[in-house]
Amino acid sequence: MSAKHASGEGPRHVAIIMDGNGRWAQARGRPRLFGHHAGARRVRDIVKSCPPLGVKYLTIFAFSTENWKRTQTEVAGLMSLFRRYIMKEMQEFVTDNVRVRFIGDRPRLDRKLRNLMDEAEAMTAGCTGTNLTIALNYGSRDEVSRATKRLAMDVAEGRLDPADVNEETLPKYLDTCLLPDPDLVIRTSGEARISNFLLWQSAYAEYEFIDTLWPDFTSDIFAKLLANYGARDRRFGAVSA
C-alpha cells in the first residue's frame, strides 16, 4: 500500500508560525502592536474555519523563548494582549466547543497570565471540537531540554529503566505529549525558516512557506494550503508501489 496520505485527505493537525504582524502594521504607518492586535483577531477566524475544513488540531506559535529579546515596550504590550485575548475569548471557546491548551515554559510568565491560562484550560477541558494549542514562551530546544531533565529524573529515581529509553520515550515527556504530531506546518510572511518550533514533532511534517503576512491570512488561503497538502505523496521514507 502506498504511504500517500489517504488519497487526497487533508491534514488532521496543522501548526502555524504566525509571522508578519509587525511588518503589516509598519506598512500602514502604525506601531507594531497594532499588527499584533490584528493578528489576534485573525486567529479567531482560522479557528472557526477548522471544523468545516476537517482540521481537528491547530497549534499556533504566539510567543517564543527568543521573543524576550524584543523591546520592553513590545514585550509588555504582547503580554497585555495575551491576557486580554484569553479573557475575551474564553467563553467563545466554550461556545464553539474548542479545547484550549498551552505549551511552553510557564514560570517566566506573570502570575495573572498563568492563572488565566489555567482557567482557560479548565473551562474548555470538556470541549470535543477543535483542539487549539497555543505556544506561549515556547522554544523547541527548551522543550526538549525540560523533557530530558524529567526523563533523567525518572531514570535516576528508578521509575524508568535506561534500557527502555527509545525514540518513543521522549515524546511522552514533551509539552505536546497529548497531541498527535503535526501533518502540516505553515509559516506566513515570506520567511523560510522554522524558528525553533516543534522540531521533534515535525520530523515528517509537510511545510508551506507563504508570502502572506499573518493579519492577511484568510480562511480561503488556509483552505488552498490544505488542498495542496492532500495532493502530496507522503512516503515517510518508503517508495511508492
Binding residues for substrate: 20-24, 32, 36, 64-66, 68, 70, 187, 193-195
Position of cell 502572506? 212
- DSSP structure string for 10-30: PPSEEEEE---HHHHHHTTT-
Residues tagged in the binding site annotation for Mg(2+): 19, 206
- DSSP structure string for 71-118: -HHHHHHHHHHHHHHHHHHHHHHHHTT-EEEEES--TTS-HHHHHHHH
- How far apart, in whole angstroms, are the C-alpha atoms of residue 3 and residue 233? 7
Burial class (CB in 10 A: 0-12, 13-18, 19+), 18: buried
Strands (E), the chain: 13-17, 57-64, 99-103, 131-138, 184-187, 206-209
CA count, 13 A, side-chain hemisphere, 188: 25
**Of 45, 67, 97, 196, catalytic:** 67
For the question of residue 19 being annotated catalytic, the response is: yes
Residues tagged in the binding site annotation: 19-24, 32, 36, 64-66, 68, 70, 187, 193-195, 206
Angle between helices 111-123 and 72-95 (to 10 degrees): 20
For the question of residue 96 being annotated catalytic, the response is: no
**Of 19, 96, 175, 183, catalytic:** 19
Catalytic (active-site) positions:
19, 67
